[in-house]
Structure 1
């Protein structure tokens, strides 16, 4: 039967792994093996191997996937795993990921081929989710262990784990429990088998006992090393997101292409301006386009000087800097209404160096098509010939330049090539405006704008607008038109309950993107009990997914009841409780986020085209990439490139970017990064095992955050 291989988009180039050689001898030994920097992922279509593959994808780490469910997959044999290049033995994969400790059919020789390969080249193996049994170095769960749900459990990284691949964690690993009616986590907990060379890295209490059972541990046997994982997970669950880095660092020995960091940046829009307020009787926002003309009385929300004092103190206590996205006309209007006085602007300007500042246009004007707001939802005005009426280039120029001049005249420390337009306007907005305003790109060029924000819920992919590049931002479901908790909950109920329960029915009409609440939230407790935990979990999920895109709220959310802070505190305090000091949050400004996303795109393009080669021989890593392509890698601290330290410290290693000139890049690893010796103790084990009890967690529904206006 003819067999073909399914290779993922990143399965190109090569990546290296641990080899059982003393440091410093490989270069002198012409027979030392070459270990390609690539991971072999053998998948059975289950969530665990898919999750590990997603982690590699996000980091930009090449891998090859073999799908066991496909009849035309390649056979995993000696020729598939290794060969010889220029007279030197080559291991094609630095690590192997299997669905469990032996996923092959009875009588298959593939596990034997893998075992021989791992022994020969000291290549480690990850058992993505396997049954606890002696063949995996563990006692059967029936022997005083446990099998069942771990929903809401608190696992812990062991001393060995903190001193090894999970040293970026403080210790606690909470397991999600999002619904009492849905089983989200299934696990086997047990102790090492008698005589097994097994080191637990992550443990959880065995229910009803004072003992701990292993969830992740290293099993050494027969000259091989296995990372044995005995709980099931998917790529979105917090427990996996916390542990994913350690799984990758263990199997690569901390030496691989690609990198991952935890990012969090928060933009506060409409600073100096005032935001219209939700009307709890009319279920719309007077003064905004969602209310019919003349409905209700506008009652805008605007920060006070006391709110500025609060935010500066909050930043200091959390060691975190916000990006203030400002509209200068808001202060001009306030001074006109108050005999030239604006205490808020005076306080913000006095404290201007405490923040980063971003141009949000002068009046927050809509910069796309000319809007017809006599109907809800609004529509684009058209000319007699049916063509769209667009806001002019001059009008866009004036909005950008006028706000920049106002900011500079007040001493704001601006990055003048960054821009956030009002409501991300000018960019396409479906369904009313499917195309960018054609006048936007030339206006951005006029004003020297290189980076323009887009709404991640509508326009998530980075793209160019003329010479400028978009940076998508995550909207938080902390509404721009809510200054009080009761207003936030009332509007939330309107959006997320059915018509029969008094809501708008939007959730019923769009079930693919929203989920209806089972019942309206209590206006007194719904925010703290439901909205805050949910929004915190969503934002923290982005943080733990190597996602540098910023989040955004509005100045109204820092005023009155200051409703943004519970969510921000949940993310920052939650993060601090989970991660060690060597793994800080990375808080980048817009242009740096845009640059990071651009580099990733260029790197993936080179990988997809098969134009990157990387391998390790002893203590030297060699990478070949096209000229001008940014190269990213994660290496042990103390690694050098051209005699200079490579990257910057993060999570116990060093990672970063370097741009290829087209010539070979040669990284020198420190002598302390010598590959671990092969495992020792021999344990006889059968060729196959019964399939583990796999209880797949319920699929994650990704709700699109609704953010009316910006």
Structure 2
């Protein structure tokens, strides 16, 4: 067997972070990161690699034959006399085999995706005794246990693969699970009889790193949002297995490969413990891990846990009412493009068709990030394509469709706000709101997107604020949020803005420790940042030919940064893009993806690049899942993410907790640090979402809530 290696699959995006008119500024490459900045009159556009780093995709990540060291049972590992086996904390224990444990990141991501608090115990360094599992009052510290692999093996480097737990520690764990009726999830295993038997044996010679997983009826009960489509299992070492009759062990197959061999199963041990094992390695960036994650979390917790798993589809369109660069399919710039009133009417029709064609997206709507300096407020309202009746059909149609989209302030003129006086920043924000009001737009007034996400410290350090309508003299650098423009922040707050868009491709503008959280601005507590995802639909293209020509000029053979072995077709381009979108959706990140107004051009009947992207993402998502996708207006999204962030930080700090008494099916929620928001999945009176019920509370002190376990 080979030494275990980390399964790392990093999906990188083509980042087109701004918009503007043509520029002859050269491309500048950062030799440390490989990130490329392409100049434009409105700023630079960071371009990252178009796909996974192939050097980080190991062909094999195999498990060695596990051995368990013998140890005499210690009296201190016996159950305490005051044990309360019906009472457990709403928290999960992750058991890790130590440094290099490839399953740890996957376990963390699985729980974080549902907001479930957890502890990690490095079994190679810390002992597992009953004190680690049972609280002083006799209640259980954990409602579920995750093993990063079924035997917690370590590579000793001498051809042996000892378990990180000795026999006494395994016995202690099993005794806790049996007594407190705690389920155990093994994220990966080569099924055998060590340290315990699941009633499966891996089929020698069938090992693979590419297969597919298909759920049976029992599997669809566990993974309640998934359909019957085969799920790809790629870049993941897998041990297809067969059932093995074992006295006292009852095994239920959940999923199989194309040959009918077992890839997932639940199993009840001879002493009554409930276990679930997967025979493929997991990684938070792999499709099968993302699709299975929600169901695994629900099974492990019996559907009762702090936090929730919720999915989103938010799409922003920047620069509405302005002209923007237009790159043709022969890679030359032509007359600047401004979407027409006819385009906007068609976008409304496209949006309606998305809602009707995709049950998973019943509330989908675009957010229109508008720049009122390009609008005309002295025009009539028109709901038809009649340009001869108005001086600006786009403004007239916007009046008609004032409630059909979420209209969001993008400043009056899209000026760069890195170095801008307070008075100018205030004018740019407030006058744009005034234009929106004159047009009758239904606006998210508490939200703001600055041009190029400027004013947040990602800037040209030599910028002196004298050329805010032009491109920067030098490339932008991430100087951190501490270099944000305080005038912008003050102007935003005084204008009623709370939620400010940031750029997810800039490291300082999102929280790597909490991928689903927003960021309270460190310089102004009245401003809360919502990161936005870039994508590979370039800001200056309007047709499939233009989109693929630009993309291939970068990443096809002969391009600036060749990656693919051929020019991609538009269908291949959308397939890759929908993979990226699917990753973000399944991870539960509530952040918008952003594109630009040229991407809404009706290039053919009822078609635009932006809606092609949306439909490709929904086609892929709907192939696998029925869980509805949320689309919120920006002000509502901001409130949701702000609340979610406060709750997550309180759980991580240990000031927010839950304790489940299974005799009465009551959860006692507790806050020890003032009033905090709390979400409880499994609440009997909660609002339905998919097959779950969730309830939200503003908690100070304690609150008892009735729950209904699955």
Q: Residue 172 of structure 2 is aligned with which of 84, 89, 113?
A: 113
* 2:217 corresponds to 1:159: yes
Counterpart of 1:577 in structure 2 is 623
1:670-685 matched pairs, under 5 angstroms: 670=708, 673=709
1:487 is aligned to 2:535: no
- When residues 303 and 152 of structure 1 are mapped into structure 2, their CA distance, relative to the original with a 3 A threshold, is farther
Deviation at 1:233, TM superposition (A): 1.8
| Cα distance, 1:545 vs structure 2 | 0.8
**1:313-462 equivalences in 2 (<5 Å):** 313-319=349-355, 320-332=364-376, 341-368=391-418, 390-432=419-461, 434=479, 435-458=483-506, 459-461=509-511, 462=519
Shift of 1:185: 4.4
Matched, 1:100 2:149: yes
Greater relative contact order (Cα < 8 A, sep 6+): 1
Superposition deviation, residue 108 in structure 1: 2.8
* Structure 1 length-normalised TM: 0.74
Q: CA deviation at 1:593?
A: 2.6
Number of aligned positions between the proteins: 564
Q: 1:613 to 1:361 in 2, by over 3 A?
A: closer
CA distance in 2, matches of 1:170, 1:609: 37
Q: State yes or no: 1:649 paired with 2:688.
A: yes
Note the alpha carbon deviations across 1:608-645, whole angstroms, 9 max, x for none. Answer: 433233211121111211354434344325x2xxxxx3
Matched, 1:56 2:105: no
Aligned-partner Cα distance in 2 for 1:31–1:278: 68
Confirm or deny that 1:521 pairs with 2:570.
no
Shift of 1:345: 2.5
| 1:588 matched residue in structure 2 | 632
Describe how 1:166-205 pairs up with structure 2 within 5 A.
166-177=223-234, 183-191=235-243, 193=245, 196-205=249-258
Answering whether residue 705 of structure 2 is matched by residue 667 of structure 1, we say yes
Match of 1:264 among 313, 321, 331: 313
Query: Does structure 1 conserve the Cα–Cα contact (< 8 Å) formed by 2:304 and 2:682?
Result: yes
- The answer to whether the 8 A contact 2:88-2:661 is kept is yes
| Shift of residue 339, structure 1, vs aligned partner | 10
Contact 1:264 1:586 in 2 (8 A): yes
Whether the 8 Å contact between 1:417 and 1:448 is mirrored in structure 2 is: yes
For the residues of structure 2 that align with 1:107 and 1:474, how far apart are their CA atoms?
Answer: 45
Give the secondary structure class of the aligned counterpart of 2:245: coil
Q: 1:426 and 1:36 mapped to 2: Cα distance?
A: 44
Query: How much does 1:166 deviate?
Result: 1.1
2:598 corresponds to 1:547:
no
What TM-score does the superposition give when structure 2 sets the normalisation length?
0.74
Q: Name the CA shift for 1:197/1:417 in 2 (closer, same or farther; >3 Å).
A: same
Instruction: Please state how far the C-alpha of 1:237 moved relative to its aligned partner.
Output: 0.6
Alpha-carbon distance between aligned partners in 2 of 1:334 and 1:230, rounded to the nearest angstrom:
65
How far does residue 91 in structure 1 lie from its aligned partner after superposition?
1.5
Q: Is the 8 A contact 1:170 1:577 kept in 2?
A: yes
State yes or no: 1:222 paired with 2:271. yes
Question: Are the counterparts in 1 of residues 282 and 289 from structure 2 also a CA contact under 8 Å?
Answer: yes
CA distance in 1 between partners of 2:707 and 2:498 (Å): 37
What RMSD in Å do the two structures reach over aligned CA positions?
A: 2.9
SS of the residue 1:630 aligns to = strand
- Give structure 1 stretches of 5+ with no counterpart: 1-28, 178-182, 286-297, 369-389, 508-515, 640-644, 675-710
Q: 1:534 to 1:185 in 2, by over 3 A?
A: farther
- Please give the alpha-carbon distance, in whole angstroms, between the structure 2 residues aligned to 1:252 and 1:588: 28
Say if 2:303 and 2:692, in contact at 8 Å, map to a contact too: yes
Kept after mapping to 1: 8 A contact 2:406/2:634: no
Deviation at 1:559, TM superposition (A): 0.5
Instruction: Please give the alpha-carbon distance, in whole angstroms, between the structure 2 residues aligned to 1:106 and 1:574.
Output: 41
Q: Aligned residue for 2:360?
A: none
- Structure 1 residues 627, 480: CA separation in 2 closer, same or farther (over 3 Å shift)? same
In the TM superposition, what is the alpha-carbon distance from 1:130 to its structure 2 partner?
A: 1.0
Report matched runs for 1:3-14 at 5 Å.
none
Q: What is residue 372 of structure 1 aligned with on the other side? A: none
Classify the secondary structure of the residue corresponding to 2:492.
helix
SS in 1 for 2:539: coil
- 1:309-338 CA-partner distances (Å, limit 9, x unpaired): 332222112222111111223233998x99
Cα offsets for 1:573-605 (capped at 9, x unmatched): 22222222xx20011222233223322332343
- Once the 2 structures are TM-superposed, how far is the Cα of residue 549 of structure 1 from its aligned partner? 0.8
> For 1:136 and 1:334, how far apart are their aligned partners in 2?
76
Give the whole-Å Cα distance in 1 for the aligned partners of 2:131 and 2:485.
Answer: 56
2:181 corresponds, among 122, 145, 155, to 122
Which has the larger displacement, 619-628 or 468-477?
A: 619-628
TM-superposed CA distance for 1:267, in Å, is 0.5
Partner of 2:599: 557
| Aligned partner of 1:599 among 643, 646, 666 | 643
Equivalent-residue separation in structure 1 for 2:644 and 2:670 (angstroms): 17
Distance 1:269 1:185, change over 3 A: farther
State the SS of the aligned residue for 1:625.
strand
Question: Deviation at 1:664?
Answer: 1.0
Deviations along 1:657-686, one digit per CA (max 9) or x if unpaired, are 31112x21111124xx38xxxxxxxxxxxx
Unaligned runs of 5+ in 2: 1-81, 153-162, 356-363, 380-386, 464-478, 512-518
Q: From the superposition, tell whether residues 93 and 58 of structure 1 become closer, same or farther in structure 2 (CA, over 3 Å).
A: same
Aligned residue for 1:221, secondary structure, equals coil
The CA deviation at 1:140 is 2.4
Q: 2:45 aligns to what?
A: none
Residue 311 of structure 2 contacts residue 588 of structure 2 at CA under 8 Å; is this kept in 1? yes
Q: 2:96 aligns with which of 18, 32, 43?
A: 43
**1:115 aligned counterpart, secondary structure:** helix
